[in-house]
Structure 1
Amino acid sequence: MRLAQEGAGIIAVDIAAQIVTVPYGMSTPADLAKTVAQVQATGRRGVAGRIDVRDLATLTAEVNRAVNELGRLDVVANAGIAPMGKPARGRAAAAAGRVRHPGQLHGGLRAVARRPER
C-alpha cells in the first residue's frame, strides 16, 4: 500500500485461483478485491484483473485496459509464486518457474511498451 499512500494508482493482476502443483494456498478473488479496496481507501484509484500472467495476450489486454483507465504506467512490481519450505522439485519447481519467469518478462515488456514519454 506504500505506493498508493505515496500517490500512485495501482493495477493489480493475479490468477486468484489455486494452481494444482503449488503446495500452499494461493490468492482468491476476494483477496484481489480487498487489495483494490485498500488502495481506494488511500484515496487513490485501483483496478484489478483476474488473469494468468503466463498468457501474454491476456496480460497485454489487461495492462492496456488498466492504463487506459488510470492514464499511465510507471512501475511494475511482480510477486510471483515460489514453493516455500523444502526445496521445490519436479512439478512444483516447474510450475513456479513457468509462473515467475514469463510473468516477469511479460510484465516488464508491457511496462516498457506503455511507458509514457517524458
Structure 2
Amino acid sequence: MKIIASVFSMLRPVRFLVVAFTCALILLSNAFPAFAIDSYQSDQTEGTTQLLDIQRKTDEAAKEPPAGLKKVQEESNKGLNEVQGDADIDKQKRPENSQSATSAEDNVKKLLDKVTGK
C-alpha cells in the first residue's frame, strides 16, 4: 500500500500537467473550431442549380402517369440514376476511378506488419 501511495505522490506534478494540457486543448478547440474553412469554398449557387433541375424533373414525373420500362431505362442510362443523372459523378467513388485505392483490410495488414516488424 505504501508503494502505491508513493507512486501517486510522485505523479502529482504530472497529473497537474495532464489537466493543464487537457484544459488548453478544450479551450483551443472551442476557440478555433473550423480549421477546415481554408479548404474548397463552393459557390453558393453551385448546388442550387442542380437541385432546381432535379426538382423540375420530379415535378414533371409527378404530373405524368407512371413511366414505362423503356423510358426509365433511357433516363437511367444517362447517368447514375433516373433522377440524379450525371450530377456530381466526378466526385463519387466507383470501380472505374478507384483502381489505386487500398481496402481497409490491406491498411490493417500493413499497420500490423509495421507494428510486429515483419
* Structure index of larger Rg: 2
Tell whether the structures are fold-level matches, with TM greater than 0.5: no
Larger strand proportion, structure 1 or 2? 1
Taking CA–CA contacts closer than 8 Å with sequence separation of 6 or more, which of the two structures ends up with the larger relative contact order? 1
> Where is the helix percentage greater, Structure 1 or Structure 2?
2
| TM-score normalised to structure 2 length | 0.19
Length-normalised TM-score, structure 1: 0.19
